[in-house]
Amino acid sequence: MATIDLNCDLGEGFGAWEMGNDAAMIELATSVNVACGFHAGDPDIMRHTVELAKARGVSVGAHPGYRDLHGFGRRPMPGLTSSEIENLIAYQIGALQAIATAAGYKVTHVKAHGAISNVACEDDVTARAIANGIKAVDPNLIFVVLANSKLVQAGEAANLPMVHEVFADRAYGDDGLLVSRKKPGAVLHDASEIADRVVRMVQDGAVVSVTGKVIKMRTDTVCIHGDTPGAVEIGRKVREALRDAGITVAPFKTKI
């Protein structure tokens, strides 16, 4: 029987501003990636999100991004050195580790956010810097990587445990990478269509690009963005479709 993890990016509000419905999404996810204060989040939101995850028994990971609150971490920041990227990643992981420890919980994985992840999918230097930043903090942290990207090679080179991720609500290009959010149709919204798509992804170990090309991908975890409009309904439909297809939804293992 197939098993899949459902992950969600949460804790992405800031101060009085909320982003998404974290309480509802955490009921549907089996792992969550918590913003660490650079692209979104703050210490109080981080603590609250970790406590929600702890109460639900959901795995908690760091979701480090560029230091870009205004742009939600979705704007590239060229010119950073490898050392600066490593420190940027390590700093954010450490922040969440401290918050999680205070809440009596543990950080198990790391998934890069937004623009820094998109850049790293195609740029060896950025990908290696992210992987090295994780390894420097804790080589046992699981590296969540976009399947078929430069992040996979960087994780292998750093000898990090990895899980390969596909996206429920994002379109893929023929190169196997995510279509830019600047392009029409990059973000998917029809909950029923997304649910059917996820079942096929898990069963076939592949995604279908915008032109219909079938691209084989290792599929350990499926991401549903918590800030996507209708995310809760999408999550519910996905879980129902997976259940109906006989696919077990469970957290990824700590050693893969």
Does 104 reside within a domain?
A: yes
**By the 8 A CB rule, do 180 and 199 touch?**
no
- The pLDDT tens digits for 135-192 are 999 999 999 999 889 999 999 999 999 999 999 999 999 998 889 888 999 999 999 9
CATH at 145: 3.20.20.370
- Cα separation, 38 vs 65, whole angstroms: 6
CA distances from 28 to 67, 155, 174, 209, 223 (A): 29, 28, 30, 26, 11
Does 145 reside within a domain?
A: yes
Nearest Cα to 34, choosing from 47, 23, 21, 24? Answer: 47
**pLDDT at 227 > cutoff 90:** no
Show Cβ contacts of residue 20 under 8 Å, excluding neighbours closer than 6 positions.
Answer: 10, 12, 13, 226, 227, 231
Does 207 reside within a domain?
A: yes
Does 158 reside within a domain?
A: yes
- The pLDDT tens digits for 21-53 are 999 999 999 999 999 999 999 999 999 999 999
Does 55 reside within a domain?
A: yes
State both tokens at 108.
């198990």
61: which strand partners? 33, 109
Range of the domain at 140: 3-249
**By the 8 A CB rule, do 209 and 183 touch?**
no
Does 67 reside within a domain?
A: yes
Does 216 reside within a domain?
A: yes
- Cα separation, 49 vs 209, whole angstroms: 33
Does 57 reside within a domain?
A: yes
- In the chain, the percentage of residues whose pLDDT exceeds 70 is 98
Total count of domains within the chain: 1
